[in-house]
Chain A
Amino acid sequence: MDCDVIVIGAGVVGAALAYGLARKGRSVVVLDGADRDLRAARANFGLIWVQGKGSDAPAYSALTRQSSDLWPGFLNELSNISTSRVDYARPGGLVYCLSEMEYANRHAVNERTHNQGAQADTEMVSRVQLERMLPAVTLGPDVVGASYCRLDGHVNPLQLLAALHRAIAALGGKILFRNPIDRIMPVSGGFRVSVSDGTLQAPRVVVAAGLATPGLTEPLGLAMPLKSERGQILVTERVAPILPFPASGLRQSADGTVMIGATNEKIADTAVTAASATKLAQRATRIIPALGSARLVRQWAGLRVLPLDKTPIYAESSDHPGLFAVACHSGVTLAAAHTDVIAPAIANGRLPDDLAPFSNGRFNVQKCA
């Protein structure tokens, strides 16, 4: 055997797991994909988001809260180990409401989440309250109010990914870049994969390859039902600080750029469209008209990795003990939980019973019935 664990996927999910495994003293080798792979970790918006998350899935809601609370400690240690700067803030987050109906719908989502037993940490704020929270801007006439959750925050997702990669190396792990694989071969006592200069064997394999995950796990009988959804994002030039709170679809980075997102499209390529740029810019300027004077410098698209019910999947194979797979939409929000909770469980060899709501077995209706 060449190492304790092979992690397939060096995006933010695979890297957070590999970092967590390395922290537990396991020797890890991480295999990254090809340059032109989909790479959701390099396209995402950078929110660490609690409000509304898992509003119909209590376990997901609880895990999200737990991860959001773990984040400051997780980042502190990650910054020290990787000796990297990662811009992060947790001032709470907003969802702007541009009509009475949006306000009522948002209120209903919060009530539903709280009725599940979640702590009441999200509140509706009126336009007048919002104006006090955002003294540097004039709100557009359509803004009725917002929903505010004090647990929400944001991070520079590219700095996060780079820091995870550095921390893995600092803890003795290895990342093989541009090393896509097409299959995992079970062998006596573990698994074998092909790498550029030969093969690699380990008793455990974790597949965290985003939308490429099912193609690697399903030949071994481990179902990972995923769908994709395209999101397009705009980013402006750097401007003086105007937005002290990140919002769903509108946040100002520590460097001053304003990110405007994101679309939800049932399209499986990463092209960008003028129609979406228009739609995103229109909504942003309905919230803050002065944004109309900021120059856009880039537009890009990524594909969200969505389990069919949008709740993360933490799966282990019963046919092939030692084979794990992880897929989720919220790789940034859940990074702290992946490092501090999921990775230690994988290091111990099995996922604990309290993660059962996240197993892939939930999709098998006949088996459940």
Chain B
Amino acid sequence: MFKSVHDKPGKASDMTVFVNGAETAAWNGETVASVLLRAPGAERRSTVSGEPRLPYCQMGVCFECLVIVDGVASTQGCLVPVAPGMRIESQHGPREISK
């Protein structure tokens, strides 16, 4: 797994977010996708092939980082900056459209 360049011994993180319920350190200015790259077991499953996926392009194009952010499904994690207390959950399957 990746490690943040800000993650140094004796230095506190800027905030805590929750990835699938687990407290995870995060820093100002990073995106949800960058947190996903270092959170264990945070992959999603492709709705087409069923294969595991992690964030790839980091610039809004590939849609590999789709994730549920504070309850909003199919959010592109690479386009959303982290915020204190944010709840990030892996999305399995396509988004449901309300009836």
- A contact set with B: CB distance below 8 Å: 136-138, 237-240, 242, 255-256, 290-291, 293-295, 297
Contact A238 B95 (CB under 8 A): yes
18 contacts between A and B (CB under 8 A): A136-B99, A137-B97, A137-B99, A238-B47, A238-B48, A238-B74, A239-B96, A240-B95, A255-B47, A256-B47, A290-B97, A290-B98, A290-B99, A291-B97, A293-B97, A294-B95, A294-B97, A295-B74
Contacts of A293 in B (CB 8 A): 97-98
Complex formed: what's the CA distance from A294 to B93 in Å? 15
Known: A255-B47, A255-B48, A295-B74. A238 touches B98 (CB 8 A): no
Q: How far is the CB of B89 from chain A (nearest CB, A)?
A: 16
The answer to whether A240 and B94 have CB atoms under 8 Å apart is yes
Write the nearest CB–CB distance from B96 to chain A, whole angstroms. Answer: 5
Taken together as a complex, chains A and B put the C-alpha atoms of A138 and B47 apart, in Å, by 24
Q: Count contacts on B: residues with CB < 8 A to the other chain.
A: 11
- Which residues of chain B have C-beta atoms less than 8 A from A136's C-beta? 99
Tell me the bound Cα distance from A237 to B48 in angstroms.
12
One of A238, A291, A297 near B94 (C-beta < 8 A): A238
- Please state if A240 and B99 are interface contacts (CB–CB under 8 Å): no
CA distance A291 to B63 in the complex (A): 20
Name the contact of A237 in the complex, choosing from B93, B95, B98, B99 (C-beta under 8 A).
Answer: B95
| Distance, CA A153 to CA B49, complexed state (A) | 24
Interface residues of B in 49-99 (CB under 8 A from A): 63, 74, 93-99
**Top 9 closest pairs, chain A to chain B, by CB:** A256-B94, A238-B94, A240-B96, A240-B94, A239-B97, A290-B97, A239-B95, A239-B94, A238-B47
**Which residues on A sit within 8 Å (CB–CB) of B98?**
290, 293
**Which residue on B lies nearest to A238, using beta carbons?**
B94
Q: What residues make up the interface of B, taking CB atoms closer than 8 Å to A? A: 47-48, 63, 74, 93-99
Chain B: CB-nearest residue to A138: B99
Which residue on A lies nearest to B99, using beta carbons? A138
Q: Closest CB-CB distance, A250 to chain B, in whole Å?
A: 13
Chain B: CB-nearest residue to A237: B74
Residue of B nearest to A297 (CB): B63
Given contacts A238-B94, A293-B98, 7 further A-B contacts (CB under 8 A): A137-B97, A237-B74, A238-B74, A240-B94, A290-B98, A293-B97, A294-B97
Q: How far is the CB of B46 from chain A (nearest CB, A)?
A: 10
Closest-CB distance, B78 to chain A (whole angstroms):
15
Docked complex Cα distance between A294 and B94 (Å): 11
- What separation, in Å, do the CA atoms of A291 and B96 have in the docked complex? 11
- Bound complex: CA A295 to CA B98 (Å): 13
A244 to chain B, nearest CB (A): 14
Contacts of B48 in A (CB 8 A): 238, 255
CA distance A288 to B95 in the complex (A): 16
* Set of chain A residues within 8 Å of B47, measured between Cβ atoms: 238, 255-256
Minimum Cβ distance to chain B for residue A249 (Å): 18
Rounded to whole angstroms, the CA-CA distance of A291 and B98 in the bound complex is 9
User: Considering residues A136, A137, A237, A256, which has the most beta carbons from chain B within 10 angstroms of its beta carbon?
Assistant: A237
Instruction: Say whether, besides A255-B47, A255-B48, A256-B47, A240 and B74 are in contact (CB < 8 Å).
Output: no
Least distance between B44 CB and chain A CB atoms (Å): 12
Give Cα distance in the complex from A295 to B74, angstroms: 9
A65 to B77 CA separation, bound complex (whole angstroms): 47
For B98, the closest partner residue in chain A by CB is A290
Instruction: Write the nearest CB–CB distance from A251 to chain B, whole angstroms.
Output: 15
A290: chain B residues at CB < 8 Å are 97-99
